[in-house]
Structures are given as structure tokens and as C-alpha cells.
Structure 1
């Protein structure tokens, strides 16, 4: 049974996740077991990140680590300022660091793709994904009792490696970036349309649905549609693509919004 965290702060014990917001204007995901607090990416300004963390009942000084997926601005805008002001250790790949976009960091740890590491009580598996960045990764995070959360956005197409790495999760934050028709008919210039819809860009709703079917839904308590494009998608279209896979159990499905993020969810 899935239990939503009703309080403004994460519960002690279960593996919980929440979102500060997700989309082209900024992305950040909180993961906590009540003792260890991870922030995955921070694509918001320092002041905005502070405000959104407070909304979820977490002070920046409570963060044990900031994990970075890749160097695009909607994922790193606030990483350096947040880390410097509050002394938060940052984990990232050498390729992401080599982009030169993060500035000085108070404490830096290298991520080796496919090499497991731990931050206090949480175990993290960084997974290489196809995206137009220097050395991008996404994360599978395990808490107490073996509960596992998959964070899977910013990939151009679902490779067999990705399918194997994210199968069997208990909860999944899944990119549903664009509707193919809206992208084709939308305002982006042709070059940007090719980038977004290409093999190194972002997942379309239909691709997300096909990937989800391959991953399997038996264990999934939560499926959070994330990184929706402001211009090329709508929440109802993302949900429409995934609902047929759920056999009528739509309670597991939710959308992570750009402005409101996603309240705490617990994996029971």
C-alpha cells in the first residue's frame, strides 16, 4: 500500500521523495529516509530553492548531499550557490565538472557511472543515459528495507542498459517531456525540434509509456510524470499515454509540476 507523506516534512523510516519543481525552468528532487536528505539537481536560483525547500519542510543545512545528473542550466543553476552558502557536499561525474558551469564547490565527490556509492543510509546507483551532455547519469536510490526509487529523466531514448538498470523499482520519477504532435507543430525552430525529439534529447509521452511497459508495473507504487515541456506537452496528454498500462489503478500516477512540484510521497 502506498502512503503519501501528509506532513510538510519527510517521515522517519520510509523512503520518501518530493519535487521542488520539474520542467524547462528548473528541476530538483528531494529524497529522504527521515535521517538522510539528498537533493538531486537544483535548477532554481538560491532564493527560490530555499523557498521551495522550506515548503517541503527541509532547511538547506539538513542536506547531506547534492547529486548532479548533468550540466544543463535547468538542473544546475542553484547547485553552486546552494553548496557554497550551506556547505553541502556535491556528487557529480568528471564530465559534468569539466563543463566549467558549476564554479567552486566546498566539497566535491566524483561519481563513476555504474559504480554504487552511499550517502549515510541511502545507496545510490548512477546509471549512464543517452542525453546531449558531457557525462550524464540518472539515479536508482535504495533505502531501508530494500525500497528503491528510480529517477529517470533527460534521456533521448530508452536503451536496453536503461531498461535493465531501472527494472523492479518501487517508485519511478519518469520523464514525459513532449507530445510528438505538439513538438512538431509548436514554436521551436527546426534545429531545436530535432534536438528535443532526437536520440540524445528528451522522452516523448509515447516513449515513456513504452519504457514503462518494459520496466514492469508490478512493484511500482508511484509513477511521477516529470520534466514536462511548457510548450510541447500538457499534463493530460502525459497521463493519457500512461493510463492504459495501469489496468484502472490510476492512483499510482501523478504529475510533477513546474511551479508546485510534488508533495512528499512515501514508499511503504
Structure 2
């Protein structure tokens, strides 16, 4: 079981999870052409995708979903609330129910309700039967439900969107600062680190920091905060970037040094 990021941040998000012949794209916040190019960079064609999972309706997550789905006849999974919020969405849709898991090819998918300022947002845990990989971005705060669901993962793609000091002193107007830092906004470095302290990490071998703000955070701040929370941990810590994304990562075994980074920004 492996995954890669095609790009992660406020200008577009897309993640691919692969197991056997099943390849699932989670979100598609890039144009059709950009998505095709980014897939090619990781050795994939859109024709190889089994499905698209949508977390919520914000443009940096759904910009290319409809066109990609229609061009390549890829089924799209999303909640009823997300579909309603997207309006006239003309592609094949399968409704996700937050209390029901489902299978796509060789992977079992568990939707997880999260607090975010969208109509019916969710994140996903994908299970191969041997390994579990969780995605958790665009989440305003860590709830007991999230802590319970994200236990026992082998890999985690985790939002660390902002540094509180940078957000407070940065260029955003007060209303936008309040939205980002609110209970329906995004996770700070400290909140992401707090989740890692709370969850059962007995199987966790791989964590990637995701959705870092280019205006309200720095990679070194996020890495330092999560490294502190992971003191004594024997896994790999990586960073997904907006432009370069993150290359393929195999969560079935360790191949990189502890606290490896995907590069500089």
C-alpha cells in the first residue's frame, strides 16, 4: 500500500492511494490539464484511477473533479451535503453516508465526519486489510470522534495549516483569521501535534504534514512541532508541498531515515 501527493495547500489538493490494481484519488483541486500532468509525474494516467473521493466542496479540493470524472468515466464519491453544495454537478456520483463504510476495488473506505465550514465535510481512512492509511485535512478541531477513528493507523496524511503567531501577525484580515483559527477552520501546528500525542501510535510508521499555509506557516515550524510530539517515535515524517507534492511513499515498510523531508521550500 502506497500513496503520493500531487500537491497540498490552499492552491490545490490531490492525493493518490494505491493498493494492488486499485488507485483512488482523494480530491482534485487542480485543473484537468494540471492534474493530468501531475499524475504523469508520478507515473500514472487518469485512466488508471478507480475512483475519486471528495472531502468537501471548496475549490482547492474540487476544481478539477467534474471534468476529470467526465473525461475518463471515473465515479465520484461524496456526501449528499457536498453534492448539494456543488450545485449542478454533471458526473457519475455515488453518495457517501458518514455512518457507512464501503469498498472500492481492493480497498475499504471509512468516511469520517469532521468539523469544517462546509456543507457535509468528511475525511477518509483507507484499509487494505493489512494496513490502514488516514487522511485528515481541512478540520477545525480535534474531536473525540476523530481521536477514536484515527487510532491504529500505519500512515497518516495530516494537516498542519498554520502557526498561531504567524496567523495573528500576518496579512489576513481579522474575519479570515478568525475563520482559519475557528472550530470550523483548519488545524494549527499545535493541534496536529496534539492529535499525534492522543492517538494510538503502535502501528504508525509514516506521517506526512499536509495543507501548510504559504502565508501563515513555515515548513520548519510545522516539522519542529510534530517532531516534538513524536519524540521517541521510530517512524518517518515527511512534508507534502504545494508545487512538488510528495513522491510515492510505501507505508508497508520503512525505507527512509527518521524525520525525512520531501525537500525545501
TM-score range with shorter-chain normalisation? over 0.9
Matches within 5 A, 1:178-197: 178-197=162-181
Unpaired segments ≥5 residues, structure 1: 1-14
Whether 1:161 and 2:145 are equivalent positions in the alignment is: yes
User: Distance between the aligned counterparts of 1:72 and 1:142, measured in 2?
Assistant: 26
The aligned residue for residue 26 of structure 1 is 12
Matches within 5 A, 1:161-240: 161-240=145-224
Match of 2:238 among 226, 235, 254: 254
Match of 2:43 among 37, 53, 57: 57
Indicate the SS of the match to 2:55.
coil
Contact (CA 8 Å) 1:178, 1:205: kept in 2 or not? yes
The aligned residue for residue 128 of structure 1 is 113
Give aligned pairs, total. 252
Whether 1:70 and 2:56 are equivalent positions in the alignment is: yes
Contact (CA 8 Å) 1:171, 1:220: kept in 2 or not? yes
User: Distance between the aligned counterparts of 1:62 and 1:134, measured in 2?
Assistant: 30
Match of 2:103 among 107, 114, 118: 118
Contact (CA 8 Å) 2:157, 2:207: kept in 1 or not? yes
Indicate the SS of the match to 2:5.
strand
Whether 1:266 and 2:260 are equivalent positions in the alignment is: no
How much has 1:103 moved relative to structure 2? Answer: 2.4
Match of 1:39 among 25, 31, 56: 25
User: Distance between the aligned counterparts of 2:210 and 2:74, measured in 1?
Assistant: 25
User: Distance between the aligned counterparts of 2:208 and 2:104, measured in 1?
Assistant: 24
The alignment's C-alpha RMSD in Å is: 1.2
Point out 4+ residue stretches in structure 1 off by more than 6 angstroms. none
Indicate the SS of the match to 1:23.
coil
Contact (CA 8 Å) 1:19, 1:29: kept in 2 or not? yes
How much has 1:251 moved relative to structure 2? Answer: 5.6
Whether 1:143 and 2:152 are equivalent positions in the alignment is: no
User: Distance between the aligned counterparts of 2:156 and 2:88, measured in 1?
Assistant: 27
Contact (CA 8 Å) 1:130, 1:157: kept in 2 or not? yes
TM-score normalized by structure 1? 0.92
User: Distance between the aligned counterparts of 1:236 and 1:102, measured in 2?
Assistant: 41
How much has 1:142 moved relative to structure 2? Answer: 0.3
The aligned residue for residue 79 of structure 2 is 93
TM-score normalized by structure 2? 0.93
Indicate the SS of the match to 1:191.
helix
Greater RCO, 1 or 2 (C-alpha within 8 Å, sep 6+): 1
